[in-house]
Every structure is written in structure tokens, then in C-alpha cells.
């Protein structure tokens, strides 16, 4: 069977990205009551800027007290008209305005973070592409994807095919040699609406960030097309999202795992079975669309890696752990019940309730309510047991070190640590390692939840092994740098 090789091109789009808003001038069209109506505005985008700068020349001078978003009219849609195109700045599309502080002026500067072509299909169905600049020349190579070519460059691997609620997406990167930049493209091969496309793109980037530690955001350039051959980019929508989260805190690394499990190159397995499945990545995205708890857990993991304080990292990852376990418990309540023979338990519980009702007058309302609740939830596991049971649900056999670690999450919720008071400053390194381990435990649960079978990287052990290697010291970690789950 000959596998299809895909041919892509983003040359016209990258040329637009590199040239757009370079000293362009417009006239603003707005409601008559706003001072920016018919004002001249010029846009410029400096190299490296994560926004668009503007210079605005009003027809009349304004007192400094009147130079606000609302009084200028930037809290509503306004149009920017030139000789050949019309852009729209939506509410909150301008994020900074500045005039003279003490005297009236007709010169205002500021920053734009959202702007789009007037004809961009915000509410009608279309084919869309998202293109953004990234600093990862090997993006996509951890996935079992496909080879492709893009604008004269051939890639043996890196095009990821996803199915999101029966809509097909392609995700790939292109390393542009002429300007030494790498572009990431997410394209939808089916007709969809812009809102859904944006949401799917965000979840795809977040899911990849969960696996790699790098959540690419920054400036998003959306393009619309009349067909999925993506021959002509008709309209553009520019949006600055938050700063990217780039930590390289990966939990999947097929190349390192292959080296880890085999020392003799002649015995290496094929690389592709070790790569992360496109189907599982699709499952993660689909689950995030319907399970906000799962999305929150992943976001906590990704964002938490940027935090410098190990105590805060432990606390955040413990919240992510609680979130993931609660989701698993809610969907598997029968498995979590301490007493499995519920048919024998039901009449006993009824008898307990009958006794409580007969003796109701002997208790205050609060006491009676507390008693009946305890009877009702008699077959509910203790909170700490839920965490061990969550791993048992997916037949994950945790080493004792990690089982003990699960019981520390309540300490972090109360601002404490597993160490004696007064020694924390001397245990910062250890606390960072504990945070790494909690992160891995949450990741294991999430990966098993979506049906993953494969390897996961233990960053704590990997850090210790790396340190031991460079210091040329022998060290017994008692844990592995990789686990198969």
C-alpha cells in the first residue's frame, strides 16, 4: 500500500503575514457621535511586535479626559477604509490608547490586537486556515502522521491528520528558509463556521501543549477560502492571543524512549509504533470539547510549568489531580463504591434511615441533616481512596513512591508541604521534583482516560539522571525516566 503524500503551500499567506499593516493609511468610518469618525489612521507593525501600532489624527483636538476607549468609540465596531480594502476593528480590538497628558491634542497613538477584513465570513460557513509563527522547527514529529511537501521543502514526517467531531483537520509546520522562520498551519478540509474553527484550533494547540509543554499562542492569522484546495486566501482575521507557554516540559518523546528501551541499535524497533497516535490526539481534542473539567486540568498542567515557585507548582498540579480524579469518579461511581454488593446494602441503608427518622426529635435540624447525609453517602469512598482507585480503574500499578505522593495533595491545599516546618528552603530542589511527579501522575490519568497505551516521560527521574551523567556520579534513583502505561 502506497501512503498518500500531501502537497501544501502557504507562500501567499506568509507573504501577506510579513507585509500586512506596513505603513498602511485609512479613514475611520464610525457613528457620527464619536470623535474618531472620519479621522485619519495609519497602521504599522514593527518586526517582533506582538500587536499593531496605530497613529490617529482627529479632525478636532480633545481634552485628555476625553481620550478613553468608550468616549473615542473603540467600544464598538469601527471601519478602516482605504482605496482597495475595508477592515473592521471590533470592541476590545484596541487595547491601548495614548494622547498628551495635560493639553488638548488631535494626535493619538495606540495598539490594535484584533482586526479583520469586512468581508471575512464571521457567521457564514467556509474553509479556514490558521497560521502562526513558532520557534519549533521539528513540530509534529512526535506524532504518527504523514510525509508532505510545502513550497519546495519535503518533510518525511510531521503532517498530523485529526478528526474533530467528523470534521477533518490537517496540522503541519513549514520552515521558511528565506526568512529563517517556522510557520504552523492548522487547516480545516471541511466547510465549517469560524467560531467552531477558532475553538477547535485553540483545543488542538492546548492538547499539543499538554504533550510537549509548549502551548503556541501569540499572533494568530486566520484566512478564509472558497474551497479546501486553499489556492487563494480571500480574507484575513488577525488576533493576538496571550503569550505562548514555552517550557519544553514534554511527557512524550519517542526518540528518547527508543534509546531508553534498547541499547543495541540492531534491536531497535521501528520508530513509527512509538509515535503518538493521531487518533488519540483527536480523542483528546474531542473530549476537551465536551469535558470542561478535562480542559481545566490540562490548562493547569501547561500553565503551571511556567511558574518558578515549586510550592505553587505542587499546589496547582494537585488541583489538576483533584479535577481529573473527580471527572473519572463521576463517570465510574459503581467502580469506586467501597461495598460492591449494593443489593445487600440497600435494605441496610433503608433501615438506618428508618431509625434516624424515628429518633429525629432527639437531634437538632443540623444534627439530623448531618446524620442522614452520612447514611446516604455511606457507600462513598473516602476522598484519599479515590486517587488510588482512579489509577486502579485503568489498571495502572503505581510504585509505592507515587502512592505515598498521592496523599500529599491535601497538604498543598492547606499551604503545607511533606517536609517539617522550617526546612523548606533547603528542600527546594526536592519540592520541584515532587511537582514534576505530581504532573506525571495527572498526565497518566488523562492519557489513560483517552485510551492511550504507550510511554510517558518522567521528568523528575530524567532530571536526576541527567544531573548524574554530567556530574559523573552514580545515583540510584529508584524510579525510571520512562514508564509504559
111-165 pLDDT tens trace: 999 999 999 999 999 999 999 999 999 999 999 999 999 999 999 999 999 999 9
Q: Please state, in angstroms and rounded to a whole number, the distance separating the CA atoms of residues 10 and 8.
A: 7
Helix (H) or strand (E) holding 184: strand 181-188
Per DSSP, the chain holds a count of helices (H) and strands (E) of 15, 22
pLDDT confidence band for 1 (50 / 70 / 90)? very low
Burial class of 215 by CB neighbour count within 10 A (0 to 12, 13 to 18, 19+): buried
Q: Evaluate whether 147 touches 5 at the Cβ level (below 8 Å).
A: yes
Q: What is the mean pLDDT of residues 361-389?
A: 81
pLDDT at 365: 86
Q: Please state, in angstroms and rounded to a whole number, the distance separating the CA atoms of residues 190 and 172.
A: 17
* Poorest-pLDDT segment among 195-209, 232-246, 267-281: 267-281
Q: Evaluate whether 200 touches 167 at the Cβ level (below 8 Å).
A: yes
Q: What is the mean pLDDT of residues 399-418?
A: 85
* Poorest-pLDDT segment among 16-25, 82-91, 195-204: 16-25
Condensed to tens digits (0 to 9), the pLDDT of residues 425-470 reads: 888 899 999 999 999 999 999 999 999 999 999 999 999 888 877 7
Q: Evaluate whether 384 touches 329 at the Cβ level (below 8 Å).
A: no
Say which residue, 277 or 372, is predicted with more confidence: 277
Burial class of 404 by CB neighbour count within 10 A (0 to 12, 13 to 18, 19+): exposed
pLDDT confidence band for 267 (50 / 70 / 90)? low
Q: What is the mean pLDDT of residues 61-74?
A: 93
pLDDT at 268 over 70: no
pLDDT confidence band for 269 (50 / 70 / 90)? low
Phi, psi of 400 (to 5 degrees): -55, -35
pLDDT confidence band for 322 (50 / 70 / 90)? very high
Q: Please state, in angstroms and rounded to a whole number, the distance separating the CA atoms of residues 410 and 415.
A: 9
pLDDT at 46: 79
Per the prediction, the chain carries an average pLDDT of: 90
The 10 Å Cβ neighbour count of residue 300 is 21
Distance of alpha carbon 176 from the chain centroid: 25
Q: What is the mean pLDDT of residues 369-396?
A: 84
* Poorest-pLDDT segment among 102-106, 120-124, 366-370, 431-435: 366-370
pLDDT confidence band for 83 (50 / 70 / 90)? confident
Q: Evaluate whether 80 touches 57 at the Cβ level (below 8 Å).
A: no
pTM for the full predicted model? 0.90
Phi, psi of 439 (to 5 degrees): -55, -45
Q: Would strands 6-8 and 146-150 be described as parallel, antiparallel, or unpaired? A: parallel
Amino acid at each position: 500500500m502506497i501512503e498518500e503524500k500531501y502537497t501544501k503551500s502557504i507562500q501567499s499567506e506568509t507573504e501577506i503575514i510579513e507585509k500586512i499593516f506596513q505603513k498602511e493609511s485609512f479613514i475611520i468610518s464610525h457613528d457620527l457621535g464619536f470623535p474618531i469618525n472620519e479621522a485619519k489612521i495609519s497602521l504599522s507593525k514593527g518586526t517582533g511586535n506582538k500587536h499593531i501600532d496605530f497613529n490617529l489624527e482627529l479632525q478636532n483636538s480633545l481634552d485628555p479626559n476625553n481620550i478613553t476607549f468608550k468616549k473615542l468609540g473603540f467600544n464598538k465596531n469601527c471601519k478602516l477604509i482605504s482605496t482597495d480594502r475595508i477592515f473592521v476593528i471590533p470592541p476590545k480590538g484596541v487595547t491601548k490608547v495614548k494622547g498628551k497628558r495635560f493639553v488638548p491634542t488631535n494626535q493619538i497613538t495606540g495598539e490594535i490586537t484584533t482586526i479583520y477584513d469586512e468581508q471575512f465570513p464571521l457567521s457564514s460557513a467556509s474553509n479556514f486556515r490558521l497560521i502562526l509563527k513558532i520557534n519549533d522547527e521539528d513540530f509534529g514529529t512526535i506524532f504518527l502522521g504523514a510525509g508532505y511537501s510545502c513550497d519546495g521543502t519535503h518533510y518525511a514526517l510531521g503532517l498530523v491528520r485529526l478528526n474533530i467531531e467528523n470534521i477533518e483537520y490537517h496540522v503541519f509546520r513549514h520552515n521558511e528558509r528565506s526568512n529563517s522562520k517556522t510557520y504552523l498551519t492548522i487547516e480545516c478540509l471541511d466547510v465549517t463556521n469560524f467560531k467552531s474553527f477558532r475553538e477547535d484550533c485553540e483545543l488542538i494547540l492546548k492538547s499539543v501543549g499538554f504533550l510537549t509543554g509548549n502551548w503556541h499562542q501569540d499572533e494568530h492569522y486566520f484566512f478564509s477560502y472558497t474551497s479546501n484546495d486553499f489556492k487563494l486566501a480571500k480574507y484575513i482575521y488577525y488576533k493576538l492571543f496571550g503569550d505562548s507557554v514555552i517550557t519544553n516540559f514534554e511527557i512524550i518523546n519517542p526518540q528518547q524512549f527508543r534509546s531508553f528501551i534498547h541499547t543495541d541499535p540492531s534491536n531497535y524497533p521501528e520508530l513509527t509504533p512509538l509515535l503518538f497516535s493521531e487518533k488519540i490526539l483527536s480523542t483528546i481534542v474531542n473530549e476537551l470539547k465536551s469535558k470542561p473539567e478535562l480542559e481545566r486540568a490540562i490548562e493547569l498542567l501547561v500553565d503551571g510549568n511556567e511558574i518558578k515557585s515549586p510550592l505553587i507548582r505542587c499546589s496547582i498540579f494537585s488541583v489538576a489531580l483533584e479535577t481529573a480524579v473527580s471527572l473519572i469518579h463521576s463517570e465510574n461511581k459503581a467502580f469506586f463504591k467501597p461495598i460492591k454488593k449494593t443489593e445487600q446494602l440497600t435494605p441496610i441503608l433503608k433501615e438506618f434511615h428508618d431509625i434516624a427518622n424515628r429518633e429525629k426529635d432527639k437531634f437538632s435540624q443540623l444534627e439530623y441533616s448531618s446524620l442522614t447525609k452520612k447514611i446516604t453517602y455511606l457507600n462513598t469512598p473516602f476522598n484519599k481512596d479515590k486517587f488510588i482507585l482512579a489509577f486502579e480503574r485503568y489498571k495502572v500499578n503505581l510504585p509505592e513512591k507515587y502512592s505515598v505522593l498521592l496523599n500529599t495533595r491535601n497538604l498543598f491545599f492547606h499551604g503545607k508541604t511533606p517536609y517539617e516546618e522550617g526546612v523548606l528552603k533547603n528542600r527546594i530542589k526536592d519540592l520541584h521534583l515532587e511537582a514534576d511527579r505530581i504532573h506525571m501522575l495527572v498526565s497518566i490519568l488523562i492519557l489513560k482516560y483517552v485510551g492511550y497505551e504507550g510511554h510517558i516521560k518522567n521528568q523528575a527521574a530524567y532530571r536526576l539522571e541527567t544531573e548524574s551523567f554530567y556530574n559523573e556520579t552514580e545515583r540510584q534513583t529508584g524510579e525510571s525516566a520512562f514508564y509504559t502505561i
